[in-house]
Amino acid sequence: MSDPPPRNFDLPHIEDDLLWKILVKAEPKVAARCQLLSTAWNFKLQSSLFLMENFHANRNRTRSLIIGMGHPPTDNVSHYFVRYDVDRNEQLTIVVPISIWRYQNHSVVGSDHGVICIRSSAGGGRSRIFLWNPLTSKDQLLPDDPHGHCSFSTSVYGFGYLVDSKEHKIVHIFKCDHTDKNFRWSLYDSFGKGWNNKGVINSAIEKLDPKSVVLNGCVHWLGWVGVLQLEPSHIGIFDMQKMKWFEAEIPEGVKKTYHTLVAYNNGVGFVSYQNCGLRRNIHIWQLVQQGGVGINWVKMINVGTLAIPLSPTVFIDNDIISVLECRGGFAAANDANTIDLLITILKRNAISVRQLLHNSWQEELCLKTKTMHSESLYDPRT
């Protein structure tokens, strides 16, 4: 007996509003495929409203850690990149655009709204800025700040998107000489497509940490004053929307042995901690801006049961993801020095440590950059 022939029937009609709600919560890679359905849906799924809502719905489930490894000296120049999915616990392939690899030295400025900002140079003062979305494989080559970089005694960058906008900006803060009392700044904006704004920062801060945290178009750095500069004294913030600088003094009561700024709880966190003998204290303060005029230290979390290295990478929910470089080998005349990269997770609630990833290189390398990245459909060319 033969099988009955298949019957054709019409699919039920789904309203566009319902499809919108479904696709807003879909993973970015799924929404990217739906852009091919029709010209109308391609237009809808590339609108500023959809990109924003889809990113915020997925930013805590498409998180990965991008690690840059490079040769000494210990600056931010990277030659290898490793990417690890912290939510799915798996290593991901990272294919950097060939246009970036035309340049020899790479420094990750940061990642925001799914787009990674990389500053690359071919040696000397000739450099370029690359914006790259690993999910969509779209990238853009930009000119670097036109000032002469060779003579800078201080040079830090920040990259981010403005609030509820497809517009992104890059800020460069620098001192041409160590005797300069003030910082200078230069700003690139995607709307004007150039470094069209510049100014001077009147501040007591003498040194800025090259690591930055971006929130709502504001770039945050740790700042130091004084001769020894043993502990940070201020947090400097540049608002890329208003093109204004403001700073807040770090209270003495929150300072410990080591300090850093991290992305924490969808905001900016100040971490201070010390591992001294049996004393193991980690303090996390939630920083909230007060109308662009200062910082309110509103939330404190204490962890006193785990010892962590002096370079915490990222705090995710109740876990701490830590990255370490370990040097091995006997460094004999004909032996290469083996470098191991270890990614471990410290479970605060269970008080346990588990290794996630182990990579090795048969050459001398250093850990240069650690960048948290969340996938999105934002196009760096707009």
CB neighbour class for 335 (10 Å; exposed up to 12, middle 13-18, buried from 19) = exposed
- CATH 2.120.10.80 is held by the domain 59-374: yes
pTM of the model: 0.87
Strands 115-121 and 105-112: antiparallel
Distance CA(368)–CA(106), nearest Å, equals 10
Counting Cα atoms < 13 Å in the Cβ hemisphere of 269 gives 22
Element (H, E) at 42: helix 39-44
Distance CA(301)–CA(226), nearest Å, equals 29
Distance CA(282)–CA(299), nearest Å, equals 13
Query: Where exactly are the structural domains of the chain?
Result: 59-374
Distance CA(207)–CA(202), nearest Å, equals 13
DSSP string, 53-79: HHHHHHTTTSEEEEEEEE-SSSSS-BS
83-131 confidence digits (pLDDT tens): 999 888 899 988 888 777 777 788 899 999 999 999 988 765 578 899 9
Residue 281 near residue 304, CB atoms below 8 Å: yes
List Cα–Cα distances, 306 to 143, 153, 255, 278, 352, in angstroms.
Answer: 44, 38, 18, 10, 8
DSSP string, 72-129: SSSSS-BSEEEEEETTTTEEE-----TTTTTSSEEEEEEEETTEEEEEEESSTT-EEE
279-335 confidence digits (pLDDT tens): 677 888 888 776 655 677 777 777 776 666 666 677 777 788 888 888 765 444 455
Q: What is the pLDDT of residue 333?
A: 46
Distance CA(220)–CA(173), nearest Å, equals 12
| Per-residue pLDDT at 1 exceeds 60 | no
Distance CA(239)–CA(188), nearest Å, equals 13
Residue 82 near residue 341, CB atoms below 8 Å: yes
| Per-residue pLDDT at 170 exceeds 60 | yes
Distance CA(314)–CA(323), nearest Å, equals 9
First to last CA, the chain: 61
% of the chain at pLDDT higher than 90:
27
In this predicted model, which residue has the larger pLDDT, 37 or 53?
53
